[in-house]
Amino acid sequence: MSVADARPAAPAAMPKLAPGKLLWPLVALVTVALVMAPAGALPAWAVKLPAAWQLGLAPQISAFMKWLMESATFGLFSVREFTRAIAWTLDLPLSAAKAVLSTGLVIGQGSDAVKLAPPIPWFAMVALGIAAGYAVSGVRLAVLMGLGLLYLAVFGQWAGAMVTLASVLVSSLLGAFGGLLLGLACVRWRAVERAVGPLLDLAQTMPVFAYLLPMLILFGFGPVSAMVATIIYAMPPMVRVTILAIRAVPEDVRSLAVMTGCTRRQTTWKMLVPTALPALMVGVNQVIMLSLNVVIIASMIGAGGLGFDVLTALRRNDIGAGLEAGLAITVLAILLDRFAQGLAHGAERGAAGRSGRRLALWAALAGVAALWLAAALWPSLATYPEAWRLSTAPWWNELVRWINLTFYSQLEAVKVFFLLNILVPVKRFMLALPWPWVAAVVTLAGFRLGGLRLAAVTGLMTLFIALSGLWPAAMVTVYLCGVGVALAMLIGVPIGLLAAANPTARKITDVAVDTLQTLPSFVYLIPFVMLFKVGDFTALIAIVLYAVAPAIRYTAHGVSQIHPALIEAGVMNGCTRLQSLLRIRLPLATPEILLGLNQTLMLALSMLVITALVGTRDLGQEVYSALAQANVGKGLVAGLCVAFIGIIADRLLSAASGRLRQRLGLG
């Protein structure tokens, strides 16, 4: 922990008094001394928390949950009836979307169901996608939609993709709209903002697995629970973006609203929201991406769809089939994202020149309706013919096999090098740190960077982790994420710099980053297990691959937004390219890169639960096994520990970034 914290903290302390300069080297020295200390030199309670000191929260939470579901009532009806009623309501839009896209309109349940109308046939859906793409944005989007949907049909992913599409559409809509409302409430009432803030932090840092089980208990087994979990995970960015975007609406617009005599509601919906729409769409994009991110996890509790296809393929060791289903998730993500962006730009451009496009859309809709009717009469038309199906799966399987047979010893050498020289020593170091010292250092860092308040927050959270009795698992977590984030930054920052300098490189990295963020990591995790075996190294690769995206994005963004005049000035003063990079671009982009570091860390933490699937022994494993053992309390406590690590890192890094920004005169 101290390694990660000391770095951002050090520069912030530098311009201060001389004792401040000495502080962090001293801390580092003491840390090393403590780690090197022979066994027995430290009091036993500092090395391993005595059992009597543990909080023992987990059983209490489990007992509370049991009480809530079995005995608690609101008087007229029980808590359970209440949550089930919510589940029933949420199921309505989901069933409707599924009826249109996947199951068709049916009456009755189970095998008794009678199909009244088929789902929308594949060719009609492709036509609809193309027309909608054209209407919303133009030819380019139309082509993209056509190709993407055809991929789903040709590679046999149609059935799964439509189930996933239905649930992602509904959960994204609910998440985006709910987030918007919550954000607006936060803007209007300070108290709401204060109450919601910490909850958002938790929702963004807590692993999904930790609250899956409570969801199952509250909302019953099945797609609705999965959807609620998805919304909890995907909504926070929308709330945050809404708050920022609405606050950023220019004062002129508000004045105009007042002058034209708008009511409060009119001001919000006719003035503020439309003005902030482009910024709000960033939030919508995040909601869609995050919803697709948990497709696999949601499929574990009954959401079905592509996530389930990926899981079953990998259980059969059919890597190629898993990859194809995984890529289908990526395709869906890209289509939805581009479509949403097209909608936003369309709204910006206004109605000009859209009447022709709208006509095309109506024509296409009529065509789709006709095709649908045709499929209702001749059901064989509705499904994509089996014989036209392509699959690259055998090729991928063969590729992995070939790599395995040909390069195994080289790969093994790389792995052993990393393990023996980096992973194992860092792990030993982290596990040897006495917990009181870590808590003290974290508190100190909080104090130096943000004063008493921050010190109290970070210190108490560290103490909670220690007292939860999960300290070793937490340290393994910090070690895995720490090394993962360091590597991700080492790889991501140079790529980001390159992307900022070169438009072609930027295009390539954009596609790569999109793919990495939406391709379910489980898909590449299993081939990596074949090549690198179960263990920390495989987990590390997965973490780096997933977490490298923000490192690239934020660096590229930070560098490209530097005022050209500053770079120009450097050139005029005779800077070489290297000097310009090291002396001008990098320092000026540093606050932005620190934000990227922050995001990288968050993604690394969110990856933990996935890496638990390849056998790491960290907090992620605690959360995962709690799910498997149906132990609500254990899962939530371990989840809180993960969340607290995330929040501590976030607060410290933000404070450091803020200070640096001030010092660089960036406001």
- Provide the 10 A C-beta neighbour count for residue 403: 14
Q: Counting contacts by CB under 8 A, is residue 222 touching other proteins?
A: yes
In the region spanning residues 532 to 561, those forming contacts with other proteins, defined by CB under 8 A, are 533-535
- Residue 115 zone, left/alpha/beta (φ > 0; ψ -120 to 50; rest): beta
Q: Counting contacts by CB under 8 A, is residue 72 touching other proteins?
A: no
Q: Counting contacts by CB under 8 A, is residue 316 touching other proteins?
A: yes
Give the shortest CB-533-to-other proteins separation in angstroms. 6
* First-to-last C-alpha distance (Å) of the chain: 29
**Residue 625, SS3?**
helix
Task: Give, in degrees to the nearest 5, the angle at Cα 576 between 574 and 578.
Answer: 150
In angstroms, rounded to a whole number, what is the distance separating the alpha carbons of residues 130 and 138?
A: 10
Q: Counting contacts by CB under 8 A, is residue 300 touching other proteins?
A: yes
Per DSSP, 119 falls in state: P
Q: Report CA 196 to chain centroid distance, whole Å.
A: 19
Cβ proximity to other proteins, 104 vs 459, nearer residue: 104
Give the shortest CB-387-to-other proteins separation in angstroms. 15
Q: Counting contacts by CB under 8 A, is residue 416 touching other proteins?
A: yes
The two structure tokens encoding residue 634: 């254990």
List 401, 428, 453, 577, residue binding other proteins (CB under 8 A): 401
Q: Which single residue is written with the structure tokens 């579901």?
A: 69
Per DSSP, 535 falls in state: S
Give the shortest CB-316-to-other proteins separation in angstroms. 5
Contact pattern from residue 162 through residue 201 relative to other proteins, giving x for each residue in contact according to CB under 8 A and a dash for the rest: ----------------------------------------
- Provide the 10 A C-beta neighbour count for residue 367: 14
Q: Counting contacts by CB under 8 A, is residue 616 touching other proteins?
A: yes
On the CB side of 245, CA atoms within 13 Å amount to: 25
Select from 5, 6, 53 the least CA-distant residue to 463: 53
Q: Counting contacts by CB under 8 A, is residue 308 touching other proteins?
A: yes
Q: Counting contacts by CB under 8 A, is residue 150 touching other proteins?
A: no
Cβ proximity to other proteins, 4 vs 294, nearer residue: 294
Q: Counting contacts by CB under 8 A, is residue 221 touching other proteins?
A: yes
Cβ proximity to other proteins, 156 vs 236, nearer residue: 156
Contact pattern from residue 358 through residue 387 relative to other proteins, giving x for each residue in contact according to CB under 8 A and a dash for the rest: ---------------x--xx-x--------
Select from 153, 93, 94 the least CA-distant residue to 123: 153
Cβ neighbours of residue 169 closer than 8 Å, sequence gap 6 or more? 97, 336
In angstroms, rounded to a whole number, what is the distance separating the alpha carbons of residues 319 and 472?
A: 34
In angstroms, rounded to a whole number, what is the distance separating the alpha carbons of residues 579 and 585?
A: 9
Burial of 512 per CB tally in 10 Å (0-12, 13-18, 19+): middle
How many residues lie near other proteins (CB under 8 A)?
65
Q: Counting contacts by CB under 8 A, is residue 428 touching other proteins?
A: no
- Residue 305 zone, left/alpha/beta (φ > 0; ψ -120 to 50; rest): left
Q: Counting contacts by CB under 8 A, is residue 314 touching other proteins?
A: yes
Give the shortest CB-401-to-other proteins separation in angstroms. 6
Q: Counting contacts by CB under 8 A, is residue 216 touching other proteins?
A: yes
User: Which region among 94-102, 253-261, 435-443, 618-626 touches other proteins (by CB under 8 A)?
Assistant: 618-626
Give the shortest CB-1-to-other proteins separation in angstroms. 24
Give the shortest CB-398-to-other proteins separation in angstroms. 11
In the region spanning residues 99 to 118, those forming contacts with other proteins, defined by CB under 8 A, are 108-112, 114-117
Q: Counting contacts by CB under 8 A, is residue 213 touching other proteins?
A: yes
In the chain, count H helices and then E strands.
31, 2
Judged by the rule CB under 8 A, the positions of this chain that interact with other proteins are 108-112, 114-117, 213, 216-217, 220-222, 299-304, 308, 311-312, 314-317, 319, 373, 376-377, 379, 401, 404-405, 408, 412, 416, 419-420, 424, 525-527, 529-531, 533-535, 611-617, 621, 624-625, 627-630
